[in-house]
Chains A and B, each alone.
Chain A
Amino acid sequence: MKTNDVILQTTTKVVFFIIFLFSIHIFFAGHYTPGGGFVGGLLTTGALLLLLLAFDLKTVRKALPFNFLIVVALGLLIALLTSAWPMLFNEPFLTHAFGDYDLPFLGESSLHTATLFDLGVYLVVVGAGMTMIQTIGGDT
């Protein structure tokens, strides 16, 4: 018997982007307000979990053809590189640099290399969460 999930699928197509944008906002707002890489990664995992609930595992694998273990490895590599980069300039491990820049469209903004470290945390959380969900939910 085929079930008709048109309400759930249409709602998911709208709500997925709201959750995803909110997770991106929480990721970038982590320096001055609550949030950061961990919560942003968990929210992105929640958005992808909503896609997995409304559609099936094969469709989501076709839409996002990542191996999420590689995403974990990429996040760890980014975190390691951003923390080891200052050692080339005779600074201690995990020294972060920041500065004010005048960006063309965004105006004057303060950029910090801790965001890159946070990007590593984000990728590790998304990759680990999606690996767990896909491994437990699939291939029974």
Chain B
Amino acid sequence: MMTFIWVSLILILLSMLGLMYRVYKGPSIPDRLIALDAIGILIISATALLAIIFDTKFFIEVILLIAIMAFIGTVSFSKFIEKGEIIERDRNR
């Protein structure tokens, strides 16, 4: 069972390397943004596997926190790409 978890951790690291290549080489900014979002998801799964390896349940809150932060970061950056400003002063004007 532990071998299975280590193998999946190594697979996650390899796919993180592939996404790093997309962040480095992405032709447009949305490519890099989506790659960063997917790296956040991979960090979540790596944290879950590390929680199994270390045999602790204290990492569960870290998982939720990384998910929330990745969501807020992606939303704010895509709003910056779309509109050029992140927080508007008055939308109904």
Contact = CB atoms under 8 A, between A and B. Distances in A.
B83 interface: yes
Given A56-B87, A139-B89, A33 B72 contact: no
Contact of A34 (B61, B76, B90, B92): B61
B82 interface: yes
B90 A57 contact: yes
Given A53-B86, A133-B87, A137-B86, A15 B65 contact: no
Interface SS of chain B: helix, strand, loop or mixed? helix
Given A50-B75, A57-B87, 17 more contacts: A15-B71, A22-B64, A34-B62, A43-B68, A46-B69, A46-B72, A52-B87, A53-B72, A53-B76, A53-B79, A54-B75, A56-B87, A56-B88, A57-B90, A58-B90, A58-B91, A137-B86
Interface of B: 58, 61-62, 64-65, 68-69, 71-72, 75-76, 79, 82-83, 86-92
